[in-house]
C-alpha cells in the first residue's frame, strides 16, 4: 500500500520488472503476464505451498527456488492462496526499498502506529512470553516458541513476506483502527499513514477471477466465513496458519483480533474452523446486546 501510494509499484505491472529471474526465459511465457495485483489477489497461477526448506540450504537458495516454482494455472483465471506468491512479494519489496522487510515495516508502519510489540524477530526476553506453537518432530526437532512456525519463513531467517510477524492483540487493533479511520493513526488524526482511497482500493473484493473472495492482500467474507454470520460484505480480514486472524468491518467500525496457538502441540486439530466463526458471532452479539 505504501509503495503503491508513492508510485514505486504499479499494480498491473509485470512482476518480472522487479524480479527478472521470475521470467525463466524459454520456459513458460505465461510468467511474463503475472502482475503485482495477481500476487496480492492470489490469482497468479502459483501453487499454494511448496516445501522449499527441504532443499534450500540458505535464504538466497530458497528465494531462487521460489522464483522458479512452476505455475499450476494460467495467470488470472483461478484464485488460490499462495505462500509462494507472498514470498515473492516480500522479496520484491526488499529490492524496491533497498531495506530488509523487517526494518522497513518497523520504520514505516510499526513505529508510526506505536505498535510497540510488533516485530519479526522477538528479543530473547520476549520469547518466553510467547506461547509455543508446535512440538516440531520433523524439521527442527524441538519446541517452537518465539520464532516463526512456518518452515519456509524459518529458512529465510524468520523474515518473509508470507509469515513471521509477532504482535500482541492490542497492537493489531491499532493497525485495524488506522484502516477504519481511512488511514489515520488513532493519536494523530491529522496525519495519514495511508490515503483513504488506497485503503478502499486494497480492501475491495476483486472482480477477477470470477467468484473470487480475495481483495489485495486481504480476504472478504464468503459463506461459510471464518468471520461468522454478522460481518458485512464490505468486511476484510486475514487468517494465520497457527490459529491467528484479524477481521475488520468498516460498516460496524469494528475489528476483531484472535490470536491462538491451534497448532499446539501438533497440527492435527481443526477445531479452529468452528471456533473462529463462533468467536466473531459472540463478539457482535455482545455488542448488540449492550447497545439495546
228-270, pLDDT tens digit by residue? 999 999 999 999 999 999 999 999 999 999 999 999 999 999 9
Average pLDDT, the chain: 96
- Would the pTM of this model clear 0.75, i.e. be above it? yes
Query: With b meaning 16 or more CB within 10 Å and e meaning fewer, what string describes 197-209?
Result: ebbeebbebbeeb
Is the pLDDT score of 192 beyond 80?
yes
Domains and CATH numbers, the chain: 1-169 (3.40.710.10)
Mean pLDDT of 52-75: 97
Q: Which DSSP string do the residues of 241-285 spell out, in sequence order?
A: TTTEEEEEETTTTEEEEEE--TTSS-S---THHHHHHHHHHHHHH
At residue 174, the pLDDT reads 97
pLDDT band at 24 (very low <50, low <70, confident <90, very high): confident
Mapping DSSP to helix (H, G, I), strand (E, B) and coil, where does residue 73 land? coil
Q: Evaluate if residue 190 carries a pLDDT over 80.
A: no
Determine the pLDDT at residue 26: 77
Confidence at residue 280, expressed as pLDDT on a 0 to 100 scale: 98
Asked whether the CA dihedral 23, 24, 30, 31 is positive or negative, the reply is negative
Encode pLDDT of 129-144 as tens digits.
Answer: 999 999 999 999 999 9
CA separation, residue 28 to residues 23, 69, 260 (Å): 8, 11, 41
- Identify the DSSP state of 137: S
pLDDT band at 187 (very low <50, low <70, confident <90, very high): confident
Q: Residue 191 above 90 pLDDT?
A: no
Q: Is the pLDDT of residue 115 over 80?
A: yes
pLDDT reading at 292 higher than 90: no
Query: Can you tell me the distance from the alpha carbon of 250 to that of 178, in angstroms, rounded to the nearest whole number?
Result: 11
Average pLDDT value for residue range 39-49: 98
pLDDT at res. 230:
97
Amino acid at each position: 500500500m505504501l509503495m503503491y501510494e508513492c508510485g514505486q509499484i504499479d499494480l498491473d505491472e509485470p512482476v518480472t520488472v522487479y524480479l527478472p529471474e521470475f521470467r525463466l526465459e524459454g520456459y513458460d511465457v505465461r510468467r511474463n503476464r503475472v502482475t503485482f495485483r495477481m500476487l496480492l489477489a492470489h490469482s497468479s497461477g502459483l501453487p499454494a505451498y511448496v516445501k522449499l526448506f527441504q532443499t534450500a540450504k540458505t535464504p538466497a537458495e530458497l528465494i531462487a527456488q521460489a522464483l522458479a516454482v512452476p505455475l499450476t494455472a494460467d495467470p488470472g483465471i483461478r484464485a488460490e492462496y499462495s505462500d509462494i506468491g507472498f514470498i515473492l512479494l516480500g522479496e520484491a519489496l526488499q529490492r524496491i526499498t533497498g531495506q530488509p522487510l523487517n526494518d522497513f515495516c518497523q520504520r514505516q508502519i510499526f513505529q508510526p502506529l506505536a505498535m510497540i510489540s510488533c516485530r519479526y524477530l522477538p528479543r530473547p526476553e520476549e520469547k518466553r512470553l510467547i506461547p509455543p506453537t508446535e512440538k516440531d518432530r520433523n524439521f527442527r526437532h524441538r519446541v517452537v516458541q518465539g520464532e516463526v512456525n512456518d518452515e519456509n519463513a524459518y529458512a529465510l531467517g524468520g523474515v518473509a513476506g508470507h509469515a513471521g510477524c509477532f504482535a500482541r492483540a492490542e497492537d493489531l487493533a491499532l493497525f485495524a483502527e488506522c484502516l477504519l479511520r481511512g488511514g489515520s493513526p488513532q493519536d494523530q488524526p491529522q496525519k495519514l499513514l495511508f490515503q483513504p482511497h488506497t485503503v478502499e482500493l486494497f480492501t475491495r473484493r476483486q472482480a477477477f477471477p470470477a467468484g473470487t473472495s480475495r481483495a489485495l492482500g486481504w480476504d472478504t467474507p464468503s459463506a461459510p466465513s471464518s468471520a461468522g454470520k454478522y460481518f458485512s460484505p464490505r468486511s476484510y480480514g486475514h487468517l494465520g496458519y497457527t490459529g491467528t486472524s484479524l477481521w475488520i468491518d468498516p460498516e460496524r467500525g469494528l475489528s476483531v483480533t484472535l490470536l491462538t496457538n491451534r497448532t499446539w502441540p501438533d497440527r492435527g486439530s481443526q477445531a479452529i474452523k468452528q471456533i473462529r466463526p463462533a468467536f466473531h458471532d459472540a463478539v457482535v452479539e455482545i455488542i448488540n446486546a449492550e447497545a439495546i
